[in-house]
């Protein structure tokens, strides 16, 4: 699976997010998970001084967001351009959150609750572990873009690509279920 092959990336991630309940949980929580660590882990101390009145300071979040944006642009330019306002909002809201009296604590609380919701949805709806346990970097990097694609597909974006990904996900889920059933049978034979 190539890191720059959009279809294989979305099929990989999609096989962990096929249940509609799980997808809904991810769609409501991905912004929180993607953006809330920014004020804590990329604090508002600027890398270099711009102006005390500048709303966006050049923290480590800016080059990290730029790397993510370039990766998304390489995967699918039009979808990436429609995602840039979301990514920009995450960066622009980091400073006000970090500077508010309880902003960081509230952000971390929502971050933890969102992760609990994600893991619960995987256990209950998908009945399998999340993608990040199989490919941590790939899952964390692709998760926001995958959720964005779910929204775009719901709006009618590239229906042929959506069909190909849905079919590929179905194949991977069937393979996973066969392998799981086989492991279970092997375990019963040993007993």
Q: Is residue 42 part of a domain?
A: yes
Whether 98 and 106 have beta carbons less than 8 Å apart is answered as no
- pTM, entire model: 0.81
Q: Is residue 1 part of a domain?
A: no
Q: Is residue 159 part of a domain?
A: yes
pLDDT digits (tens, 9 = 90+) for 12-52: 989 988 888 988 888 888 777 776 665 555 555 555 555 65
Residue 50 CA to residue 124 CA, distance in Å, equals: 48
Give the mean pLDDT of 103-110. 80
Q: Is residue 85 part of a domain?
A: yes
Give yes or no for residue 171 having a pLDDT over 80.
yes
55 pLDDT tier (thresholds 50, 70, 90): low
Q: How many domains does the chain have?
A: 1
Residue 135 CA to residue 152 CA, distance in Å, equals: 24
Helix, strand, coil % over all residues of the chain, rounded to 5: 75, 0, 25
Give me the pLDDT at residue 49, please.
57
pLDDT digits (tens, 9 = 90+) for 73-102: 999 999 999 999 988 887 777 767 777 778
Measure Cα distances from 32 to 87, 132, 190 in Å: 12, 17, 45
User: How does DSSP assign 7-70, residue by residue?
Assistant: HHHHHHHHTTS-SHHHHHHHHHHHHHHHHTHHHHHS-S--SS---TT-SS---THHHHHHHHHH
- Domain membership of residue 149 as a residue range: 6-190
């Amino acid at each position: 699976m190539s890191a720059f092959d959009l279809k294989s990336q979305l099929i990989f991630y999609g096989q962990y997010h096929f249940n509609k309940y799980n997808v809904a949980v991810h769609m409501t929580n991905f912004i929180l998970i993607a953006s809330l660590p920014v004020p804590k882990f990329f604090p508002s101390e600027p890398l270099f001084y711009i102006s005390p009145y500048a709303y966006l300071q050049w923290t480590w979040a800016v080059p990290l967001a730029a790397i993510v944006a370039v990766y998304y642009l390489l995967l699918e330019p039009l979808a990436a351009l429609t995602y840039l306002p979301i990514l920009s909002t995450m960066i622009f809201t980091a400073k006000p959150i970090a500077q508010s009296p309880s902003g960081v604590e509230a952000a971390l609380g929502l971050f933890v609750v969102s992760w609990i919701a994600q893991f619960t949805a995987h256990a209950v709806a998908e009945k399998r572990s999340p993608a990040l346990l199989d490919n941590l970097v790939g899952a964390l990097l692709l998760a926001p873009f995958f959720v964005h694609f779910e929204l775009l597909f719901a709006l009618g974006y590239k229906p042929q690509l959506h069909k190909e990904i849905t079919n590929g996900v179905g194949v991977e889920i069937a393979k996973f279920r066969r392998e799981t059933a086989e492991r279970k049978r092997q375990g019963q034979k040993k007993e």
